[in-house]
Amino acid sequence: MKDTFLLVYRNIRERKTRSILTMLGVVVGIAAVVAIMSISYGMQESITEQLSEMTDIIMVTPGSAELGSFGDFGSFTERDLKDVERISGVKEAAALMGEMQEVEYRGEKVMVEIVGIEPRDMDAVFGATVKLEEDGDSETSASGRELRDNDRKACQIGYSVANDYFNYEIGVNDRLTINGSKFRVIGVLEKQGGFRSNVDAQIYVTKRDAVTIFDTDDISTIFVRVRDIGEAEGIADEIEEQIDDNHKLDDFTSAMAMGGAIEELKSIFQILQVFLLAIASISLIVAAMGIMNTTLMSVMERTHEIGVMKAIGAKNRNILFLFLMEAGVVSGIGGVLGCIVGWGAAEVISFGIYTAFDVEIGVVMKLQVLLAGVAVAVLVGILSGLYPARKASKLSPVEAVRYE
């Protein structure tokens, strides 16, 4: 075995440039597959992680349904909220008020989205995924605390508001001016990013304070959690009907069951993954043709040598094995390099997505993907080498020796 490798190695090295070019084809193919696999696993993971808590949510907005943004299409009333709470199957319903307001910190003014919410509803809206930032405040080990019902002129701020919006970083107990009145920061939220990056850019106050700042008690979004995800679609329809009735309008309300939307999103990603893999596979097919071509050329060039080997006693399968090994080794090395390059490429893509869109998609490098990458490379090599190798092994000794 070791000596077969030696023989194969000598032959590969003798045609170094060609071997490297052939290998390059495999490297590109495998790298593409590995990178796509690990990025899409990363995407899947971040979707699942970020959205799994949201499957039982129905988001009710006036007009069009857009994840987490407040439209200017109208607003809901306390009565709407009460009616929604009464619909059977609804576990919790929380009202959110939202408006862009001028926020001042150390003389700097920035427009920020202010969200008014009943502190007790925070959990219903956020679930367990949105937490206070873990941080240096040694006593609490978190940045501040949650909002409470009896808080006045107090706010919780999103990560980006705290760190990026103003020249100076904002911390717990700092004071902001929102629409002219002073607010104390009682908590800084953990960075969310991805599908919840809107949370990073918001300031949370109690509903009572929001009414004062906005000078209205209009509700811009109603967050609903249902008991049974299976009923979510039905309940969403009921909510739309009920609120449209209240306002005596058609299509005034849009209630979106997140579960369905999330499933849809997931299947879109799966289709995307298959599509990208199909494209990557084309590069593998090209690589396979490269290997076949190289091996065929190698067989042609070495016809005489094959004849000599047969004349001194090589069996057909000795020759077959030699050429298969040659193809397998070239593509196997290509596969290993492809995995490394693919991994690197995945990290680069992930970093690129992060800097361009501020969405964190981790690279999920599964051992199976790497092993499969190398295995596929070797398999492609051997399969592409099969035809030329068989051709070589079947050469007649006299004719091959005579061939110059």
Residues engaged in binding another protein (CB under 8 A):
2-3, 6-7, 10-11, 14, 304-305, 308-316, 318, 396-398, 401
Q: How far is the CB of 293 from another protein (least distance, A)?
A: 21
Task: Indicate the residue among 311 and 348 with the shorter CB distance to another protein.
Answer: 311
Residue 318: CB minimum distance to another protein, A: 5
Q: Under a CB-based contact definition with an 8 Å cutoff, are residues 60 and 76 in contact?
A: yes
Phi-psi region of 375 (alpha: psi -120 to 50; beta: other; left: phi over 0): alpha
Which residue number, 314 or 330, has a Cβ lying nearer to another protein? 314
Q: Which is nearer to another protein, 79 or 402 (CB)?
A: 402
Nearer to another protein, 216 or 316 (CB): 316
Minimum CB distance to another protein, residue 337 (Å): 24
In sequence order, what are the beta bridge partners of 94?
223
Distances (CA, A) of 83 to 65, 90, 374: 20, 11, 60
CB 62 within 8 A of CB 220: yes
How many residues are given for the chain?
404
The answer to whether residues 156 and 146 touch, using CB atoms and an 8 Å cutoff, is yes
Task: Please tell me the distance from the alpha carbon of residue 375 to that of residue 151, in angstroms, as a whole number.
Answer: 61
Task: Tell me how far, at minimum, the Cβ of 312 lies from another protein, in Å.
Answer: 5
Minimal distance, residue 298 CB to another protein, in Å: 12
**Of 63, 46, 95, residue with least CA distance to 262:** 46
Smaller CB separation from another protein, 34 or 392? 392
Q: How near is the Cβ of 308 to another protein at its closest, in Å?
A: 5
Q: If we measure between CA atoms, which residue out of 10, 27, 2, 14 comes closest to residue 343? A: 27
Q: 39 near 346, Cβ under 8 Å?
A: yes
Nearest approach in angstroms of CB 310 to another protein is 7
Q: Closest separation between CB of residue 9 and another protein, Å?
A: 9
Specify whether the CB–CB gap between 228 and 91 falls below 8 A: no
- Of 14 and 263, the one with the shorter C-beta distance to another protein is 14
* DSSP assignment letter at 168: S
Q: Are strands 90-105 and 108-117 parallel, antiparallel or unpaired?
A: antiparallel
Q: How far is CA 22 from CA 2, 26, 261, 278, 332, in A?
A: 23, 7, 45, 21, 11
Q: Which is nearer to another protein, 7 or 211 (CB)?
A: 7
State which residue, 122 or 308, has the beta carbon closest to another protein.
308
Cβ nearer to another protein, comparing 2 with 248: 2
DSSP three-state, residue 69: coil
- Minimum distance, C-beta of residue 296 to another protein, in the bound complex (Å): 19
Beta bridge partners of 57: 225
φ and ψ at residue 174, rounded to 5 degrees: -75, 160
In whole angstroms, how close is the CB of 309 to another protein at the nearest point?
7
Q: Which residue, 132 or 299, is less far from another protein as judged by CB?
A: 299
Greatest pairwise CA separation for the chain in angstroms: 101
Can you tell me the distance from the alpha carbon of 359 to that of 50, in angstroms, rounded to the nearest whole number?
12
DSSP string, 89-100: TEEEEEEEEEEE
d(CA 216, CA 196): 27
